[in-house]
Amino acid sequence: MANVQDLYRRYANAIASLDFPTLESLVHPDFVLEYPQSGERFRGFAAFKSQLENYPGGLPAAEADDPTSKVVGDDDRWAMSPGYTVLPLSGPERFTSISRVPYPDGTRWWVVSILSVKDDKIAQSETYFAPEFEPPEWRKGMAEIIPRP
Amino acid sequence: MTFDARQFFVRMARALNEGDVATLSVMVHPEVVSDFPQSGERLRGIAAFLAQIEEYPGGPPENADLPPATVLGDEERWAITPAYTVVPLAGANKYTVITRAVYPDGSKWHVVCIVELRDELLYRSENFFAPDFEPPEWRREFAEIVARE
């Protein structure tokens, strides 16, 4: 079973560096990428690669090594049997990644992806793009403000 | 009765969308921490959590025909031993919940939450808000367009 933390790091780094041979080796032949915000669905590596290569102004670099990047789910994927044997989890391998991406216009966005793994490769990605915003006045009395990285 | 995390989050998403503070007040842990990484806001404790629902400018939005929340993680919390005994997963109760929300101006957003339960109550929540956008022209030839809900 793939170590999803490691798989995600290599996947994000390959996207950031436009390393297409590495990227192709990490994604499943039936790879599907979805952007639910626009309703777009990209099927297969060729479509995935085309939209990375043709990004206007150059691709925003996913900061895979950014300390704020994280993978949620990997540490939850093991079970303890009554005999204290640690067992790999059955079922589909899914995890959630959170990263930060700078765009060509200088804005920074959060990118949250629900990723599925099949045959130790990234098989599906459902990706959401969330911009920064200023804390609204009406909520100021309720919230602490944490410096954004 | 067995706790059903999927039903819990579907009910919570509905209560959030309807501004149903009475329902939320029995679903949220007293020590809840809710983060909005896009703005750096952290709401600490149930009073702050409920106040930001009650005081939302314009009141609860109209929510006609919103799809139910998608909950990732619940079905993956069981493992099969070599003898085919199903055992519950040990570890943190972490889930990813994807919902749709309608804002007072009528815009529909995707809301992606990384959530953690404690004592069958919402304990930690990290929330990302992602607006709809139109598919850009430059990648029309690579993408299918899936109807948005």
Domains of chain A: 4-139 (3.10.450.50)
The values of phi and psi at residue A2, to 5°, are -65, 145
Q: A52-88 burial by CB neighbour count: b if 16+ within 10 A, else e?
A: beebeeebbbbbbeeeebebbbbebbebebeeeeebe
The answer as to whether B91 is a domain residue is yes
Q: Do A94 and B76 touch (CB under 8 A)?
A: yes
The answer as to whether B106 is a domain residue is yes
The answer as to whether B149 is a domain residue is no
The answer as to whether B21 is a domain residue is yes
- Report d(CA B42, CA B35) in Å as an integer: 4
Residue B136: closest C-alpha in chain A: A38
A13-72: per-residue pLDDT in tens?
A: 898 888 999 999 999 999 999 999 999 999 999 999 998 888 887 766 555 556 566 777
- Report d(CA B129, CA B107) in Å as an integer: 12
* ipTM value greater than 0.85: no
The answer as to whether B147 is a domain residue is no
Domains contained in chain B, number: 1
A112-134: per-residue pLDDT in tens?
A: 988 888 888 888 889 999 999 99
Chain B residue numbers with beta carbons less than 8 Å from the beta carbon of A92 are 76
Q: CA distances (Å), A42 to each of A75, A98, A117, B80, B139, in order?
A: 29, 21, 17, 34, 10
Residue A136: closest C-alpha in chain B: B39
Report the CATH number at residue B47.
Answer: 3.10.450.50
State yes or no: pLDDT of A91 exceeds 50: no
The answer as to whether B139 is a domain residue is no
Q: Do B77 and A76 touch (CB under 8 A)?
A: yes
Domain, as residue range, for B81: 5-132
Q: Do A144 and B91 touch (CB under 8 A)?
A: no
- B92 CB-near residues (< 8 Å, 6+ apart): A75, A76, B116
Which pLDDT score, from 0 to 100, does residue A147 have? 83
Tokens of A49: 């690669």
Q: What is the pTM of this model?
A: 0.79
